Amino acid sequence: MIDTLIQDNPTGVRSIDVPFQRLRPLLDQGENAGIEQAFLLQETALAESVSDLTTNTSVSLADYYRIQNRLAVLIGDETCHLSERQLIQGSTDFVLRHVGECTSLQQAMRVISESYNLLHGGAYNRVESSGAHIDYVIDDRNFPYTFEAGSDEVYFAMESTLIFLHCMLMTICPQNAEGALTALSLRRPRRDSNCDHLSYWQVPIKFDQSVYTIRFKAEHVTKAMPRPATTRLSARAVYETIQSAVERSTSNAKTMQALVEEHFHQGIYEQHEIAVELNISVATLRRRLTEEGVSFRDLRESILNRQAQILLQEGRSVIEVAEQLGFAEFRSFVRAFKNWNGVTPTAFVTEVTAQRD
């Protein structure tokens, strides 16, 4: 079981956490710059010392960004030494100052793209129009990372950058950015067990793509927007938006049990089919359910039994119920129902009818 530094949310909702190992590169970068890890953790009120955090510990995604923000200030590099070409403190403020005259989020996206290309010394960012959609694209294949290209650290760093970018647009014009997102493309080959941070995104995600893409509805990002307040055009404001956006995504992040139950109600009962729908492996599906204290088999039987009882009380025949719930033949359903309830479907209907009378 994973230990967490924040409390879980109510039933049906879970926090968005990242493993402690995600913090390790940041803590190491700080230590290389002469900043003690214990000091950094205490500065962000995350823990008294590194010894409080173990390999089985997770921290909230919001806390990850708090550490990232504080470290960037302390070492004077907004990439936190991720790139060989450092971004000095104030780079994000510089980018946002150039957004002040934009009249739409599409214009703001172009300014952000061009500004970061200038700062990073390469054409890594671009904005593309495709009819009903506007895409912000990042091609990092030749980016001068200090980590090994294609490593999990790089994937996570880029995925964190996409959240930062999205929150930057939310900071500039929340009314136009809200609801504008439609899809996300990542270079990560597949979702794995350490990808809980991707729960931030409430849109379909494509993996193993050649570039990173955030897709927006053109009608939202081309719409005229009010001039942003000067106080909102700062890195500090963006990090404040990240905190509230992560909290909002957390409140929308359903437990694995809730997600599986949704698929059951859609008539999908097989583990491998649900895993495909959720873009995860069967092993990850099982592990997540185990962490929530339930097994797939027990959950499936509970839902099937509940649905069977409802259908029988509605007057459906045993054969109809068996077919609707995906049983190969009605005898298998009768056996299963008797195991679940101690009586056959026919006896169950008789008892319910007698109670009504």
Residues 211 and 135 in one domain: yes
Residues 277 and 218 in one domain: no
Helix (H, G, I), strand (E, B) or coil at 296: helix
Give the closest residue to 235 by CA, choosing from 28, 54, 58, 95.
95
Report the CATH number at residue 348. Answer: 1.10.10.60
How does 277-308 read in b/e, with b if 16+ C-beta sit within 10 Å?
ebebbeebbbebbeebebebeebbeebbbebb
Tokens of 88: 């000095």
> How does pLDDT run along the chain (357 residues), one tens digit per residue?
223 333 333 334 456 888 888 888 888 888 888 888 878 777 776 665 555 555 567 778 888 898 888 889 888 999 888 888 889 989 999 999 989 889 999 999 999 999 999 999 999 999 999 889 999 999 999 999 988 878 888 999 999 999 999 999 999 999 999 889 999 999 999 887 778 888 889 888 899 999 999 999 999 999 999 988 888 899 999 999 998 888 777 665 567 888 888 888 888 888 988 888 776 778 888 888 887 788 999 999 988 998 899 999 888 899 999 998 888 888 999 999 999 999 999 999 898 888 776
Per DSSP (E only), the strands in 139-274 are: 181-185, 205-206, 212-217
Q: Which of 252, 269, 297 is the last residue of a domain?
A: 252
Which DSSP string corresponds to 66-84? HHHHHHHHHHTBTTTT-BS
Specify the pLDDT at position 161. Answer: 95
Residues 122 and 228 in one domain: yes
Give the closest residue to 45 by CA, choosing from 81, 5, 82, 88.
5
Specify the pLDDT at position 268. Answer: 87
Q: Which of 252, 277, 312 is the last residue of a domain?
A: 252
Residues 339 and 264 in one domain: yes
Instruction: Report how far residue 329's alpha carbon sits from residue 139's, in angstroms, rounded to the nearest whole number.
Output: 53
Q: Provide the domain limits for residue 289.
A: 256-356
Task: Tell me how many domains the chain contains.
Answer: 2
Residues 186 and 320 in one domain: no
How does 247-276 read in b/e, with b if 16+ C-beta sit within 10 Å?
bebbeebebbbebbbebbeeeebebeebbe
Residues 219 and 304 in one domain: no
Q: Which of 252, 273, 308 is the last residue of a domain?
A: 252
Residues 215 and 271 in one domain: no
Residues 71 and 153 in one domain: yes
Tokens of 62: 């919001």
Looking up tokens 């049906």 gives 12
Residues 155 and 285 in one domain: no
Residues 125 and 11 in one domain: yes
Residues 234 and 277 in one domain: no
Q: If 0-12 CB within 10 Å is exposed, 13-18 middle and 19+ buried, where does residue 142 land?
A: exposed
Residues 10 and 98 in one domain: yes
Specify the pLDDT at position 53. Answer: 58
